[in-house]
């Protein structure tokens, strides 16, 4: 899955760069020129949602999400592998359910538009299911790795 690493990083970095540029432009226009950029807040909010969701995919890929492993660390290796793999599968189900609800939300507001740019709310809310599917993908890979490690231990 190394081939997905750079595109996900770029998908998070480019909107962040654009967000910083828009924020700086808006500040300069408001305080130096005296002409506020009305659309900057709307675009910044949209970009922030996408940055968070793509960043969450990258964090899951890199194993950087917060976890409290106090209990699992105390378990024997086989039990720890089993618990982590099962929790991973349950987490995949939960995050896919969140994605499904996010998709329902996005589809329900597809004809509602933002007040300034008149962009469909679909393009904002669809970030939730996209992020959920990406996160679930990497969670599933980790769960499969856990089950494979458990099977390998059984074979030995």
Give the count of domains, the chain.
1
Give the pLDDT confidence of 34-74 residue by residue, as tens digits: 999 999 999 999 999 999 999 999 999 998 988 888 888 88
Supply the pLDDT for residue 77. Answer: 87
Q: Which residues of the chain have pLDDT under 50?
A: none
Helix or strand or coil: residue 28? helix
pTM as predicted = 0.89
Supply the pLDDT for residue 154. Answer: 73
Supply the pLDDT for residue 116. Answer: 92
Helix or strand or coil: residue 113? strand
Supply the pLDDT for residue 1. Answer: 64
Q: Which alpha helices (H) appear in the chain, and where do they start and end?
A: 5-27, 40-61, 70-74, 77-108, 122-125, 127-155
Supply the pLDDT for residue 140. Answer: 96
Owning domain of residue 131: 2-155
């Amino acid at each position: 899955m190394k081939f997905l690493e750079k595109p996900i990083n770029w998908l998070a970095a480019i909107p962040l760069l654009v967000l910083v540029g828009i924020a700086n432009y808006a500040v300069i226009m408001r305080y130096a020129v005296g002409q506020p950029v009305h659309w900057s807040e709307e675009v910044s909010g949209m970009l922030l949602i996408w940055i968070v969701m793509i960043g969450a995919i990258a964090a899951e890929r890199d194993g950087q999400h917060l976890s409290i492993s106090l209990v699992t660390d105390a378990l024997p290796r086989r039990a720890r592998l089993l618990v982590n793999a099962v929790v991973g599968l349950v987490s995949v189900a939960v995050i896919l359910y969140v994605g499904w609800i996010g998709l329902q939300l996005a589809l329900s507001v597809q004809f509602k538009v933002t007040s300034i740019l008149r962009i469909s709310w679909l393009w904002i809310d669809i970030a939730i299911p996209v992020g959920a599917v990406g996160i679930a993908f990497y969670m599933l890979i980790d769960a499969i790795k856990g089950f494979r490690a458990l099977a390998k231990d059984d074979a030995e």
